[in-house]
Amino acid sequence: MTTIPTRLAKLATPSSSIAEARRRSINAYRAWYRSAPEIVALYALNISPSWVRLKIRQDFERNRAITDLKIIDMLLLKNQQEYQETMNCWKQEPHLMHWFKQYEDPQPPQTFLDKFYAGRDDPKQVSSF
């Protein structure tokens, strides 16, 4: 596939109101959502498009409560940059699989022996030295 750097480029225009920022974020979400099968195919991922859509949904939901217009604009700009890099194949598979890292991480050790086996120290006891 030929990479065209300006294929998905957009101007960084600030939003004039919360309603406009909401519209822009919904459009960004739709673009990601529709691109999930293409992302899986482009990078030959061993996951289904529904997993990609789930992760996209979680990322958008995590920032749902933000009401500051400047922060929303900054997040939309970063979102567009991430989308352009992903769709133009400027990433490699490990960059995308990093999105799903939290699902693969084991639970943090709870007991003393589990922490000892994992090589983690208890911060309360280490600071007492």
Residue 86's nearest CA partner among 47, 40, 25, 48 is 40
d(CA 56, CA 86): 13
d(CA 71, CA 32): 20
Task: Show pLDDT as tens, one digit a residue, over the chain (129 residues).
Answer: 556 777 777 777 888 999 999 999 999 999 999 999 999 999 999 999 999 999 999 999 999 999 999 999 999 999 999 999 999 888 898 888 888 776 556 677 788 788 777 776 656 655 554
d(CA 52, CA 99): 9
- Look at the pTM and tell me if it is higher than 0.75: no
d(CA 55, CA 62): 11
Query: What's the Cα-to-Cα distance from 89 to each of 28, 107, 124, rounded to whole Å?
Result: 18, 33, 46
Residue 47's nearest CA partner among 37, 57, 60 is 37
